[in-house]
Amino acid sequence: MLWLCIQFPKLSLEVLTRAQHDSAQPQAVVEQQLIVEANRPATERGVETGLSLATACALCADLQLLQRDMQREERQLRQLAQWGYSFTPIVSTQPAGTVSAEGDRFACLYLEISGCLKANGGLRPLLQQLRRELRQMRISPLMGLGHSPSAARMLSQLPEHRHWLQQTQTPPSPQQWRQWISFSPSKLLDCDNKTIAKLYACGIKRISQLLAIPLSEVGNRFGRGFVDYLARLNGSRHDPMPCYQPPAEFHGELFFPSPLDNSEQLLFPAGRLVRELCQQLQRRQLYSHQLRWKLDFGRQGCKVFSVAVSRPMLDPQRLIALTKLQLERIRLEQPTQALSLTCDRLLPLEENTLDSDLFDGENQTQRSHQLLDKLVARLGHEALSGITLKESYLPEQAWASADTLVLQSHHSSKGHRLQPIQAPRPVWLLPRPDKLQMRGHKLFYRGEIKLLQGPERIDGYWWQHNRHSRDYYIAQGEDGGLYWVYQDLGSEDWYLHGIYS
Amino acid sequence: MSNAENLLQNKQLANHTKQQRLRQLLARPDIWRAANERGHRRNGIDSGYASLNALLSGHGWPRGATTELLIDRSGIGEISLLLPAVAEITRQGQIAILVNPPFIPYAPALANAGIQLEKLLLLHPRGWKEALWAMEQALQSGCCGALVSWQGHRPTSDKDLRRLQVAAREGDCLHFHFRPLSAAASPSPAGLRLQLGGDGEQLTVQLRKQLGGQAGQKLHLARSADLIRRDRPLH
């Protein structure tokens, strides 16, 4: 077993500020009147973890204070677990502790990487890739490698070990680990402050000293739990970890410390979320038909819009372009405080459905799907429609509006095809029959019209109350136009129903 | 010796590139040469009417260009004029798009004309700006075979038409644009301008302008016999 522990010491700050560009303004996260974490400009001016709010403000007057948001941190950690899951199936998380709880611990992620070394080209490339992707997400990690999760966690706090990890090519041997562990100072042990104080009082400064004492003696002094922990650290006992199971959905969220009031500014964070989504989807071989975006206006409510994708697509650039078209349509009434992207109903990608083919770059159907996606994104669903035949006697019910996105995807002809009626029918149908004027025995529509052919009797729905019985004629107007007119047999009124165009 | 050879070679090369450039220039669709008239390519799309094909320079509707149709009233057979070409395009698997049609395109009639209805898309954008954007995107995309558009309430400006014409050239798409007769007097960047009229029995087509071809001819196309057959009056 080879466990990698990634600690996120600055997660409480980064979860709130990673959406923005590097800012020169000092910022700090506060919980219960204490500074939890400060960014670089603030640290340079002496603001550090554990300071009281008053002291920090005295040191740095223009300090921007952000309230710590544990829920957001937890969500971010879950998302990181999902990210880790794309490397290895054995992932475990540990949430951060609060300031008041004893033993100030950071949120961390455990990955069992012995199974994925080969696929990623060895230890060094894997670690480099992990670091690079975390940098892209703007999250700073501390990494440690160990034969058990407890050991990995302890070693991630040891600067010498981290330094070694930067350069190493191969995982160390068991002896090397023992050496690392015995070399570590006792304060790195994952136990409460009281126990550590007791250890130092006994003169045990390094773990090697602790391991030299017989275990029963240690048990007498520090309790069974501590002995158990030591055994797990040593590798002489199993170190069980709750295993993370990813949900079949994606949720990403970015928070803006200073709210954005321009939809163009939203493009940059939206692009970041889309890239994270595409990475996840590609690794898990899933796709989504719909990206649901949510603009959070804080107390003023929120706005939701969605981007529909007609075909599986994992290209972030195209998804960003579609999102951009939607964002352009939106006018922000209130400044946006957070942007989130949700994709539920992720579907498995099948071999023949993927958009990008290795050999032929773009074919006709792909391009038409891209065009339709673009049109839907900018004009909205309601502006696009198709038409189909319907089986009905009544002319106005012999056609139906169809959803274009559905009709584009089935290529093979279905077994049963509707056949249109074999009679001269007009190209244009009026949305609603237009009543014709009648003076003497003559009909008028922009001048007098004369009947050429007819009648063709259409008598539909005689079994219902609203019986339609009509005599249809082809008529010619004064100006040469050919019209489709009918006489309603009930009321004997004349109507224009279509134009032979 | 070698200097002289070099000079000779350079001269030949220069001549060669000049000729190539000339050939490129002559290959442009907007340059018309009388000498080419007899043997030029038949790159147009069959309109379905032999007499109309004979008048058009590409022996069919010009591909990758805007065709302007000037008309004042509907019902004289203006859509029937386009239907054979549009039907052929949908049969080839390309999309045909109607932007802002004035009435409901009636499915049974279109299916009878041979149009694959699942390849037909109707667009009703909210304003002219949106419509222009959508038309440009569709024309450029290269997957749309034919686009038929109707001028909205506002007259189409010269600049907009030029945009559409350029987009149609990029996407190699058939573009038909309906405008009222009042626009006939103003110049237009369209590749082909037809004025349509009719008396019910036949459709009159007058060529107002044709890039790379002659203009001014008039043509009468009879309407379908099924439509203009006159029954004995009942009353």
**Most A CBs within 10 Å, among B76, B92, B106, B129, to test the A interface:** B106
- Determine the Cα–Cα distance for residues B63 and B68; give it in Å rounded to an integer: 13
**Most A CBs within 10 Å, among B100, B121, B135, B176, to test the A interface:** B121
- Report if residue B214 sits inside a domain: yes
Q: Which CATH number fits domain A250-379: 3.30.1490.100, 2.60.40.3670, 3.40.630.30, 3.40.640.10?
A: 3.30.1490.100
Residue A412 has pLDDT above 50, yes or no: no
Instruction: Name which of A379, A398, A499 is nearest B75 (Cβ-Cβ).
Output: A499
Domains: count for chain B: 1
- Average per-residue pLDDT in chain A? 82
Mean predicted confidence (pLDDT) in A99-106:
63
* % residues pLDDT > 70 (chain B): 91
* CATH 3.30.1490.100 location in chain A: 250-379
* Pairs across A and B, CB distance < 8 A: 174
Residue B3 has pLDDT above 50, yes or no: yes
Contacts of A455 in chain B (CB under 8 A): 234
What are the tokens at A442? 């003559």
Note the pLDDT tens digit of each residue in B127-138. 888 898 999 999
Query: Please, which residues bridge with residue A473 across strands?
Result: A485
Q: How confident is the model at residue B76 (pLDDT cuts 50, 70, 90)?
A: confident
Contacts of A399 in chain B (CB under 8 A): 104, 106-108
**Alpha-carbon separation of residue A184 from A7, A141, A196 (angstroms):** 17, 20, 13
Give residue A194's pLDDT: 82
Quick check: B107 and A388 CB within 8 A?
yes
Q: Which has more confidence, A331 or A483?
A: A483
Q: Which has more confidence, B114 or A344?
A: B114
Give residue B177's pLDDT: 93
- Determine the Cα–Cα distance for residues A271 and A252; give it in Å rounded to an integer: 12
Assign residue B145 the CATH number of its domain. 3.40.50.300
Give residue A415's pLDDT: 47
**B74 and chain A in contact, CB less than 8 A:** yes
Specify the DSSP element, H or E, that contains A450: strand A448-460
Work out the angle between the directed axes of helices A149-156 and A224-234 (0-180°, nearest 10): 90
Q: What residues contact A339, with CB distance under 8 A and at least 6 apart?
A: A19, A253, A254, A256, A266, A269, A270, A273, A293, A294, A295, A296
Mean predicted confidence (pLDDT) in B49-66:
87
Q: Which domain holds residue B168?
A: 42-228
B 159-188 → A contacts, CB under 8 A:
none
- Report if residue B176 sits inside a domain: yes
Mean predicted confidence (pLDDT) in A278-297:
84
Q: How confident is the model at residue B148 (pLDDT cuts 50, 70, 90)?
A: very high
Quick check: B106 and A425 CB within 8 A?
yes
Quick check: A379 and B106 CB within 8 A?
no
Mean predicted confidence (pLDDT) in A463-490:
84
Contacts of B197 in chain A (CB under 8 A): 480
Q: How confident is the model at residue B232 (pLDDT cuts 50, 70, 90)?
A: low
Mean predicted confidence (pLDDT) in A372-379:
85
Residue A356 has pLDDT above 60, yes or no: no
- Report if residue B30 sits inside a domain: no
Note the pLDDT tens digit of each residue in A110-130. 998 888 888 888 888 888 889
Give residue A62's pLDDT: 86
Model ipTM value: 0.81
Note the pLDDT tens digit of each residue in B196-222. 888 778 888 988 888 877 888 888 888
Instruction: Name which of B80, B122, B138 is nearest A387 (Cβ-Cβ).
Output: B122
- Report if residue B174 sits inside a domain: yes
**Most A CBs within 10 Å, among B118, B128, B136, B196, to test the A interface:** B118
Quick check: B227 and A364 CB within 8 A?
no
* % residues pLDDT > 90 (chain A): 2
Give residue B156's pLDDT: 80
User: What is the residue-wise DSSP string for A143-187?
Assistant: EEEESSHHHHHHHHT-HHHHHHHHH-SSPPPHHHHHHHHHHSBGG
Q: Which has more confidence, B143 or A248?
A: B143
